[in-house]
């Protein structure tokens, strides 16, 4: 009797396994697609970042140039009236409409005294932008304004200070 039950059980298992193996495979299909966005680009539109004419006082200080082109002063630095250009750097970002992008600004940029032989250096630091950090390309374009802070030492030598090479601003899609 035990052999019969065991034989019937084995027969049922073999029969069940045979049915599983005999089933046909299931299949499905899917399409493949991609959207290639217009590349993001950056172009300087007008002028360069310029702190304008300033007067040191023998005390260290700073000139803060906001992205909207307004200046503020700290420490022993003040504005000078008269000729001279004050402006933030103006760039145009273009790319795919509605996409956001990240803005990378320099940490600091050395400026060399071009009228005294290039031995004196001042630093432009704390670069800021509008928009700040990220922007959105409405209609595929956005204006990017960049300002910074000019650090003056107490012993700043008079002269015209300029960068040896232009500073770099980078934009990338988020």
pLDDT above 70 for 86: yes
Note the pLDDT of residue 129: 97
Q: How confident is the model at residue 3 (pLDDT cuts 50, 70, 90)?
A: low
1-6 contacts: CB < 8 A, separation 24 or more? none
Note the pLDDT of residue 92: 97
pLDDT above 80 for 45: yes
Q: Write out pLDDT tens, residues 101-141.
A: 999 999 999 999 999 877 899 999 999 999 999 999 999 99
State the alpha helices, DSSP H only, in the chain. 2-22
pLDDT above 50 for 21: yes
Instruction: Report whether the peptide linkage leading into residue 38 is cis, meaning its omega lies within 30 degrees of zero.
Output: no
Residue range 4-25: mean pLDDT, rounded: 58
d(CA 52, CA 50): 5
User: What is this structure's pTM?
Assistant: 0.80
Note the pLDDT of residue 6: 46
Quick one: which of 84, 86, 101 has its CA closest to 41? 101
């Amino acid at each position: 009797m035990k052999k019969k039950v065991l034989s019937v059980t084995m027969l049922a298992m073999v029969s069940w396994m045979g049915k599983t193996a005999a089933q046909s495979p299931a299949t499905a299909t899917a399409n493949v697609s991609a959207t290639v966005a217009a590349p993001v680009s950056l172009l300087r539109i007008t002028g360069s970042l310029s702190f304008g004419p300033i007067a040191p006082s023998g005390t260290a200080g700073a000139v803060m140039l906001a992205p909207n082109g307004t200046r503020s002063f700290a420490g022993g630095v003040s504005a000078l009236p008269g000729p001279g250009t004050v402006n933030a750097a103006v760039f145009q970002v273009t790319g795919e409409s509605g996409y956001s992008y990240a803005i990378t600004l320099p940490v600091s940029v050395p400026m060399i005294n071009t009228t005294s032989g290039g031995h004196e250096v001042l630093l432009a630091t704390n670069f800021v932008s509008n928009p700040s950090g990220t922007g959105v390309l409405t209609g595929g374009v956005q204006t990017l304004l960049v300002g910074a802070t000019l650090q003056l030492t107490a012993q700043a030598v008079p002269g015209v200070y300029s960068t040896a090479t232009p500073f770099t601003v980078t934009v990338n899609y988020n």
